[in-house]
Amino acid sequence: MVTKSTRQPLRTAILTISNSRTFSDDTNGLMIQSCLTNYGHQVVDYAIVKDDKAAILRHIHEWVCSVDMIITSGGTGLAKRDVTLETLVPLMEKTIPGFAEMVLFFAYRKACGLEALTYRAAAGLIHQCPVFALPGLPSLIKISMEKIILPEIEHLYGEIKK
């Protein structure tokens, strides 16, 4: 379990990308929200959109200048409808390739073995705002939040603001 932050809480927006989820059954968005608030960060907005480039872009463009961090879940798979990474990565001025590598490492080791090859993730900066795109698999969301994002976000945010 990650311990609570000693720094100023980061204002975060969460975007679930799914053709089937609603607020009543979006366990992934709620898990991200719970991890963030338990660690002392603030969730200032939370939305669910379909796997649709325009819908994703609408929220990202609205949030990048008004929050400290954005976390998305879903839409990162290999299916034709999965467009999250194809939408977000071109917007990133700087990518954080080690994030995707760490997600795959933990996916392989702790969650799903070789099936990890089908799960994609990405992280980078859009207008100096860190954006993390997580797969929609709950076990990977939990691992990504607890083992990667929350322990490293203060350092990462400090580096961005230099």
Digit-by-digit pLDDT tens for the chain (162 residues) are: 455 555 689 999 999 999 999 999 999 999 999 999 999 999 999 999 999 999 999 999 999 999 999 999 999 999 999 999 999 999 999 999 999 999 988 887 766 767 777 789 999 999 999 999 999 989 899 999 999 999 999 999 889 988
Tell me, yes or no, if the pTM score tops 0.75. Answer: yes
Q: Is residue 40 part of a domain?
A: yes
How high is the pLDDT of residue 53?
98
Q: Is residue 56 part of a domain?
A: yes
Compute CA distances 94 → 13, 100, 122, 125, whole Å. Answer: 19, 14, 11, 5
CA–CA distances in Å: residue 148 to residues 1, 19, 35, 77, 96: 12, 27, 12, 20, 12
**CATH code of the domain containing 131:** 3.40.980.10
Domains in the chain: how many in total?
1
Range of the domain at 109: 11-160
DSSP, collapsed to helix, strand or coil, labels residue 50 as coil
The answer as to whether 4 is a domain residue is no
